[in-house]
Structure 1
Amino acid sequence: MGSQAADDHSNGVSSRHYIRWDSEGVQSIPSNEAEDIKAVAEMINSIQRTQFNKARHCFSGTHARTQGVVKGKLIVGDLSSHLAQTLFSHPGEYPICMRYSTEPGDPGLDDRIPQPRGLGIKVFKVDGEMFEAGKDFPTHDIEFNSTPALDLADAKTTREIVDLRIKYGKARDEVHNTHLTSIRYYSQTAYRYGDFIVKYSLVPSSEVQKKQYQEAVKPDSHPDNILSSWVKEFYANNEAEYLFQVQLCENLEDQPVEYAGKTWDDEKYPWQTVAKIVVPKQDSMIPARKTFWEDHIRLDPFQGLKSFEPIGSPNRLRRVVYPASAALRHELNGRKEVNMTSIDQLPDGGYVEC
């Protein structure tokens, strides 16, 4: 990480024209977007109620199936000025906890069915101006998905697609079904990055993780919980390493912010490394951790740093849907929301006391 500034100078990425996050045309809100967002929030709550009627327990409207929860650290090195922004503005180490998940809202979904996978990170000991909702707890949440583009590309499209999923059980089954620790994860949507705009990505960097990607789930021979079993086996024997990379916005037509259904070309707009994540060996499926996260935690970047604000239509939708989904989950389960201020609040065993 210490040589990043020199590397950036040699390959010219530090001198490119990066668009400011507050430039004209970055965000444009359709007149009927609020109506679409309200409809989606109601649909997500409907999915939650359907699962509650089956399991007599309420889960998140998306990413309901927990595949593992682990603790680690985010390490930021000495970066060039265009990269030294927001959370990555100066060298340091931050405690983190991470949850691996499967995207749909069904907590019992068979691991042998190919689906997009998720990864959520809560970063602790964060400094900077926070959104009002998160001003009392110094954390920032970062969310990833295993597919680079988002089919729920804007509020209108999301309303249409979620409606189809509710009516017909439509699922996405074209993804490579493999070890969750070997997958590259993406933000899918755009974020403010200090002065600029980025999409971000998490890249497995250890040789063990890279090798694991070649293995696929075998529906005829693997059990229905194979993915969480693989995560548990991996962390029992290995340390995980990831590179945290960002892709800066230079052309709004080629790199739209409002529409998340288009992948930003990484040959034209290269990924640049800003940090490393290290996760030591541990038990990835401690029952108290799983229960604590599912029943008490809300992952929401709109409670974090203003300088790392989610932007664009899908994120304006999330700003409404996330609290609505969490509120219903906590209400139906009779559990209070816990806004963590320290990684020590994540249980290492025993029982959940909340």
Structure 2
Amino acid sequence: MSSGKYVKWDEPKVEHGAGPEEDALIHEIEQQINTCQNAVWAESRHAYSGTHVKSHAFLKGEFEILSGLPTELAQGMFAKPGKHNAAMRFSTETTAMIDDRVRQPRGIGLKVFEVEGEKLRNDGVDPKTQDFEFNSCPVLELANARTCRDIIALRLKHGGCPADLDGALKKRDDYEVQDGRNHIPAVNLLGQRQYGQAAFRWGDYVAKYALIPSPSQVSDKELSDKDSGHAFSEQLRNHFAKNGAEWDFQVQLLERSFFEKEPECVEDARINWPQKEYPFVTVAKLRIPAQESMMPARRVFWEDRLRLNPWDGLKVHLPLGSINRVRKGVYRASAVHRRKLNATFAVDCTSIDDIPDEKPIDEELKKAGVPIMA
């Protein structure tokens, strides 16, 4: 019988459900996401990832793992304190470009460099990075493979009519969770709390991640009709022109007392892990200095070439649960389709310097003898 305050990642009941039936559902979801990508391509003649289509900023900074962590927190890459280079992207989670004033989840993609250890990738490539993804909604309404397939099907069917979609969702017993994404205030991205949503291996244990902004960055002022539909990018660009920003990287360990009450809390990402009873704890700091937040070359590189996927990371931070198994297949299918439509290729960044800064395209053109137009 299992014991101990914290649940071990490899206990028999932590993960279940993988198999041929789930694999078939994942294949359906891959096709659904490609359909979403095709719709965006038809409008813009450019393909993006299946979700988090709209970018708001691309930034470089520092990720510092804190020293003196207790054993249960000093796990995996967090067992060794120190500073790492890092890069991040702000985005809106939806499958299409939407107005920033619309209430919807926003997200952050984070890549940490100089990360040693055995990776999940089996293609012989190790860029020595660890990727993290965050969303401003603390739980993931897509839950698991079956729920994900069903919800995306409804969105594709009723996407042109929000009222019809809402009516279809109201027929479900999880309507409150499904509707929650439509009520996340459109406040400055610098102050939004961000969550990893699904569960991950945390060395010996199981955890969820969060990225908590410095209190000085938090604002409850929501965008209004007076603001631009692209206000998030403008706010971030204005801020980082002169100022930096900081976040606490936190983890919430899965405790046995909660797991015994909610045995599906890893497999069903709709289940909230109560923060009051099981608080998040800071294990690292993310610091971003002042810089240009929307460099054209950096944007093109990140959106069209950069590879960001938690399934490329350390084995000790293995993504857990059905929705993470969905992500494994969907991310691959989305990336292949996007690069096929854009006639480009993926890049494994091994250094922060691989992500471009000022006008590298101009430099390449000059070397090739191509005149640069003003």
Counterpart AA for 2:338: R
Change (3 A) 1:174 1:37: same
Give SS of 1:36's match: helix
Residue number among 250, 253, 257 corresponding to 1:245 in the alignment: 250
Residue 113 of structure 1: aligned partner = 102
CA distance in 2 between counterparts of 1:275 and 1:301 reads 18
Q: Which amino acid letter does the alignment assign opposite residue 275 of structure 2?
A: D
Q: Is the 8 A contact 1:289 1:348 kept in 2?
A: yes
Alpha-carbon deviation of 1:154?
A: 0.4
Query: Which structure has the larger Rg?
Result: 2
| 1:165-184 equivalence runs, <5 A | 165-169=155-159, 170=165, 172-184=181-193
| 1:351 to partner: Cα distance | 4.0
- Aligned partner of 1:21 in structure 2 is 9
Say whether the 8 Å CA contact 2:131–2:310 is kept in structure 1.
yes
1:248-296 Cα deviation digits (max 9, x unpaired): 0013243710000011011221111101111001111111111100110
Shift of 1:87: 1.5
Q: Is the 8 A contact 1:102 1:117 kept in 2?
A: yes
- In 2, distance between residues paired with 1:292 and 1:134? 23
The match for 2:268 among 259, 263, 281 is 259
Q: Which residue number in structure 2 is paired with residue 4 of structure 1?
A: none
Segments of structure 1 that go 5 or more residues without pairing to the other structure are 1-15
Measured in 1, the distance between the counterparts of 2:119 and 2:205 equals 18
Are the equivalent residues in 2 in contact too, given 1:134–1:303 (CA < 8 A)? no
Instruction: State yes or no: 1:69 paired with 2:58.
Output: yes
SS in 2 for 1:54: helix
**SS of equivalent residue, structure 2 residue 274:** coil
Between stretches 343-352 and 151-160, larger displacement belongs to 343-352
Q: From 215, 218, 221, give the equivalent of 1:215.
A: 221
Q: In structure 2, how many angstroms separate the alpha carbons of the residues matched to 1:110 and 1:326?
A: 24
User: Distance in 1 between the 2:321 and 2:341 partners?
Assistant: 31
Q: CA deviation at 1:173?
A: 2.2
Residue 233 of structure 1 and its aligned partner are, at CA, apart by 1.1
Query: 1:313, 1:34 → 2: CA distance?
Result: 10
> Offset of 1:237 from its aligned partner?
2.3
- How many angstroms does 1:206 deviate by? 4.5
Per-residue deviation, residues 9-52 of structure 1 (Å, max 9, x unmatched):
xxxxxxx7111100110001155211111100100001001111
| Partner AA of 2:323 in structure 1 | P
Structure 1 residue 85: Cα displacement: 0.5
Is the 1:135–1:303 Cα contact (8 Å) retained in structure 2? no
How far apart in 2 are the matches of 1:134 and 1:144? 27
Aligned pair in 2 of structure 1 residues 94, 28: CA closer, same or farther (>3 Å)? same
- Please give the secondary structure, in 1, of the residue aligned with 2:208: strand
TM-score normalised by L of structure 2: 0.87
Kindly provide the amino acid, as one letter, of the partner of residue 39 in structure 2: T
**Superposed counterparts of 1:116-195, under 5 Å:** 116-131=105-120, 132-133=122-123, 135-169=125-159, 170=165, 172-195=181-204
The whole-number CA distance in structure 2 between the counterparts of 1:298 and 1:90 is 25
User: In structure 2, do the counterparts of structure 1 residues 141 and 216 end up closer, same or farther at CA, with 3 Å as the change threshold?
Assistant: same
Whole-angstrom distance in 1 between the partners of 2:125 and 2:346:
16
Please, which moves more after superposition, 331-340 or 254-263? 254-263
Matches within 5 A, 1:48-63: 48-63=37-52
Distance 1:25 1:134 in 2: 31
CA contact (8 A) 1:206 1:240 kept: no
Q: Secondary structure at the match of 2:89?
A: strand
Show the counterpart of 2:344: 335
Give the stretch that moved more between structures: 252-261 or 299-308. 252-261
Distance of 2:330 and 2:136 partners within structure 1: 21
State yes or no: 1:304 paired with 2:313. yes
Q: Percent of aligned pairs with the same residue?
A: 42
Unaligned runs of 5+ in 2: 160-164, 166-178, 366-374
Tell me which amino acid in the other structure corresponds to 1:159: R
Q: For the structure 1 residues 182 and 140, does the alpha-carbon distance in structure 2 shift closer, same or farther, using more than 3 Å as the test?
A: same
**C-alpha displacement of 1:133:** 4.2
Report matched runs for 1:268-283 at 5 Å: 268-283=277-292
1:42 alignment partner, SS class: helix
Aligned length in residues:
335
The answer to whether the 8 A contact 2:52-2:107 is kept is: yes
Please name the residue that 2:84 is paired with.
94
SS in 1 for 2:182: coil
Shift in Å, 1:298: 2.5
Q: CA deviation at 1:215?
A: 1.1
Partner of 2:32: 43
Paired residue secondary structure (1:50): helix
Q: Give per-residue Cα distances to partners, 1:287-327, cap 9 Å, x unaligned.
A: 11111001101210111111111100000000100011000
Report the counterpart of residue 228 of structure 1 in structure 2: 233
Asked whether the 8 Å contact 2:307–2:349 carries over to 1, the reply is no
Give the whole-Å Cα distance in 1 for the aligned partners of 2:18 and 2:54: 33
* Equivalent-residue separation in structure 1 for 2:30 and 2:357 (angstroms): 33
Match of 2:94 in 1: 104
Q: Which residue of 1 aligns with 2:172?
A: none
Matched AA of 1:335:
T
1:235 partner letter: F
